[in-house]
Structure 1
Amino acid sequence: MTRPQKQIRLAAHFPGVNNTTVWSDPRAGSQIEFSSFVHFARTAERAKFDFLFLAEGLRLREQGGKIYDLDVVGRPDTFTVLAALAAVTDRLGLTGTINSTFNEPYEVARQFATLDHLSGGRSAWNVVTSWDAFTGENFRRGGFLPQEERYSRAKEFLATAHELFDSWKGDEIVADQDSGTFIGRPDAGAFAHHGQHFDIQGRFDVPRSPQGRPVIFQAGDSEEGREFAAAEADAIFSRHGTLEAGQAFYRDVKSRLARHGRRPEDLRILPAATFALADTDAEAEELAREIRRQQVSGATAIRHLEFVWNRDLSAYDPDGPLPDIDPDVESEHLARGRAQVHMYRDPIATAREWRELAEANNWSIRDLVINTGNRQNFVGSPETIAKTIDAYVQADAADGFILVPHITPGGLDGFADKVVPLLQEQGVFRTDYEGTTLRDHLGLNRPA
């Protein structure tokens, strides 16, 4: 029996300033002005995307005591941006990354419940943890948590937030029959949680929101992260963009759901995906090469090499050969913030491998970083990209994709205008929204 075609889920990631964005392109706009967010969100909604996704960094990266060049314009607050976007969109889901290591359940639950009310049921929470003591310096607790404690705290954080979301069990505000005034039932919003990480009790002051709870995203890829997603998440933000890796990840995570009393359709798997779109496949390949060169300036190439060498390499020519000295594995790392510090477990071996690659291909430092860095997931004409995305979804490498354009805010426009109509013609993507909430868009049930 032939399986019906799966419906593709599409979302848009406003990338901010990072190694995906080509901020130097003349078409690039502000990463912080509200008009950029509005343009991006309205394009996604015009294309009937499921949601817009915002990442968040709680501290700017530093290298050699200076703010990293791709972080220089800063990061606006997630909740503020999403609440403002709720007023200028009607159906688009609004997903924010909020950290469970440096926040508190009551505050976060109250903010998401409020956003869900303001947006008519379109909020989603990407639950993340943080290992980074450098980031922790921005918070009064400071420090960091070991990995096992991070996930322990995250699980209890989410469980506590769910208790708060569920503390309003129905129509808790009712009209007094005699006076006609509104009164609250005695147990409305009452909660008490006594656990390892949180010991709180009181009354939650936001009534149950349109979705009951926000859609829960999770982005971890470790064993703990996969199990956490299988037990708790509605969707997982995957980093596995190739067909084979995507299929392996998909099988693994979906196979874990049954032991948590869940069905495969209860969890959506959505890898991030970059793209290079042009009129022909050949033009797209050339565009992809140009994008990669734009993404790696000379200064960026040197900074990337410094992650591995752990040395100040500013005296080196990015268009010259790699350093012949070995990485410094004894000193404190000169890069601080986010995951780059831990990307390379064996710097000496990595440096040796890169020297061999550079010598074999006659690559400069910049050439090496360009050719060993991330490549676009989808490259081609509108027809090629539409066909490839559909093939990945039908082959169970993903349930859809979170698209990350290289230009903000206009980088999504071509995909919306040229690729989405082809997917709609194939019958694998909606032509209009059929519901009002993000759970409707993703085909997820409202929690009881």
Structure 2
Amino acid sequence: MTERTPGKQIHLAAHFPGVNSTTVWTDPRSRSHIDFSSFQHLARTAERGLFDFFFLAEGLRLREHKGRIHDLDVVGRPEALTVLTALAAVTERLGLAGTVNATFNEPYELARRLASLDHLSAGRAAWNVVTTSDAFTGENFRRGGYLDLAERYTRAAEFLATARELWDSWTPDGRQRPFAHHGRHFAIEGEFTVPRSPQGHPVVIQAGDSPEGREFAASAADIIFTRHGTLEAGREFYADVKGRLAAYGRDPDDLLIMPGVSYVLGDTAAEAQEKAAEIRRKQVSPQNAILALEQVWGVDLSAYDPDGPLPDIDPDPGSELVQGRVKITDPFAVAAKWRALSEAKGLSIRQTVIETTARQSFIGTPDAVAAELAEFVARDAADGFILVPHLTPGGLDDFVDRVVPLLQERGVYRTEYRGATLRSHLGLREPAGKG
């Protein structure tokens, strides 16, 4: 295949599979989500594919369904920053991104841990800032309680600003100064114990599609981790978020938009579609289909047949059978949408859940998938993608072996790492620091 004219460059990251319906645990190729060898395999595969970073999600409490542990939850996964620190020793260039909650942590302690990871990895650390608003998760912490939606973003914004004050308390030339922060949520002062790290600040990622999440990302994040189902939906989101940056004195290139996506490859388009359909059937078992329905309806639907029609009853917005998840804000609208789809296509409960809960997938031959990824970036629907494979830990192997070379031939993906830090991979400026 002849090499093509270079286009807008694609950024890629790898999401370690786990607590979601994407993972197919019943596949015989699925391995441990606890053994370090699994994390190492996926991270080294991503580095072999010249990915920007490895991304590790994390929750602070196991979800419950009807008072029992949610059957999709991962029990026993090690803490994210501990895993990433270990991976720093077995990788050289790959960025290391961990999810850490801004609701149930404190700025000084977390800033130290992130700065330490940045030092130990020679400038490859990233922090995915998330928040929690439910009292269910709060029960695991001394402070307990919860914050409403607006307040948790207010706390997260002050948390991040405070962490950056701590990182900036060491100047680029190695001078340390006392810090003092007195705000609504935090009142701390003293001296920060970790010198300025190789990137100045670890890269900041924010996940969310809500108006509050978009505004928070535009004001403070380096990457926004999102999801959208079509090219046009992606372009609309991209234009909206990029359009918010100027209000904060930022340029469009200061924030990268990277949706989480899945992919399925086949030697022919028909084979890829057949494989994708089989994967979706495994991801949404009959039991999981009913569980997904109960998250919308808020009532016990265990008596319903997953292969039968949707319930003809209205949702109960006051009920919560599943704890530890983001609650659906308008279950009536979701139920109406699902009913309309089911009636229009003659879908059963399970078929409806399969169709409505699928993550954006790129399905086809390696060349077709490479072309579609490049089109999304060229048409400003994304700056890159966080790939969410359905297998642990080998789910990324075929993409690196079969799609990455085609992206390189198209001139839209790097053929080598040109810098050492995650910021250099992403094309982000290093924070100036304060003299």
Please list the CA deviations of residues 264-291 of structure 1 after superposition, one character each: whole Å capped at 9, or x if unmatched: 1111111111111111111111111111
**Inter-CA distance 234–351: structure 2 relative to 1 (3 Å threshold):** closer
Unaligned runs of 5+ in 1: 173-184
Query: Residue 60 of structure 2 corresponds to which residue in structure 1?
Result: 58
| Alignment partner of 1:367 is 2:351 | yes
**Which residue among 83, 86, 96 is the counterpart of 1:84?**
86
Task: Report what 2:373 is aligned to.
Answer: 389
Tell me the CA shift for residue 65 of structure 1.
0.1
1:430 matches 2:414: yes
Change (3 A) 1:152 1:392: same
Corresponding residue number in structure 1 for 2:325: 338
Matches within 5 A, 1:149-160: 149-160=151-162
Is 1:421–2:405 an aligned residue pair?
Answer: yes
Percent identity over paired residues: 67
Task: Please say which structure displays the higher CA radius of gyration.
Answer: 1
Give the C-alpha shift of residue 108 in structure 1: 0.8
Change (3 A) 1:19 1:191: same
Q: Provide the TM-score with structure 1 as the length reference.
A: 0.92
Task: Report what 1:198 is aligned to.
Answer: 186
TM-score (norm 2): 0.94
* Aligned mates of 1:56, 1:366 — CA distance in 2: 28
The answer to whether the 8 Å contact 1:288/1:376 transfers is: no
Number of aligned positions between the proteins: 428
Q: What is the correspondence of 1:34-433 to structure 2 with a 5 Å cutoff?
A: 34-172=36-174, 188-330=176-318, 332-339=319-326, 341-342=327-328, 345-347=330-332, 350-351=334-335, 353-355=337-339, 357-433=341-417
TM-aligned CA deviation for residue 328 of structure 1: 3.1
Shift of 1:217: 0.9
Q: What's the counterpart of residue 177 of structure 1?
A: none
Q: Secondary structure at the match of 1:138?
A: coil
Q: For the residues of structure 1 that align with 2:359 and 2:156, how far apart are their CA atoms? A: 32
1:27-57: CA deviation from partner (whole Å, max 9, x where unpaired): 1111111111000000000000000111111
Q: Mean Cα displacement is larger for which, 363-372 or 418-427?
A: 363-372
Q: CA deviation at 1:371?
A: 2.4
Aligned residue identity for 2:325: R
Shift of 1:311: 2.0
Taking a change above 3 Å as real, the CA distance of residues 192 and 364 of structure 1, as seen in their structure-2 partners, is: same
Offset of residue 365 of structure 1: 2.2
Residue 43 of structure 2 aligns to which amino acid in structure 1? A
| Partner Cα distance (2:357, 2:244) in 1 | 31
**Paired residue type of 2:126:** A
Q: C-alpha distance in 2, partners of 1:12/1:364?
A: 33
Corresponding letter in the other structure for 2:383:
D
Once the two structures are superposed, what CA deviation does each residue of 1:109-145 show, in whole Å capped at 9, x if it has no partner? 0000000001000001111111121111111111111
Closer, same or farther: CA 425–169 of 1 in aligned 2, 3 Å: same
One-letter amino acid of the counterpart of residue 371, structure 2: K
Give the CA deviation at 1:352. 5.1
* Structure 1 residue 151, shift from structure 2 partner: 1.4
Letter matched to residue 353 of structure 2: V
**Aligned alpha-carbon RMSD (Å):** 1.8
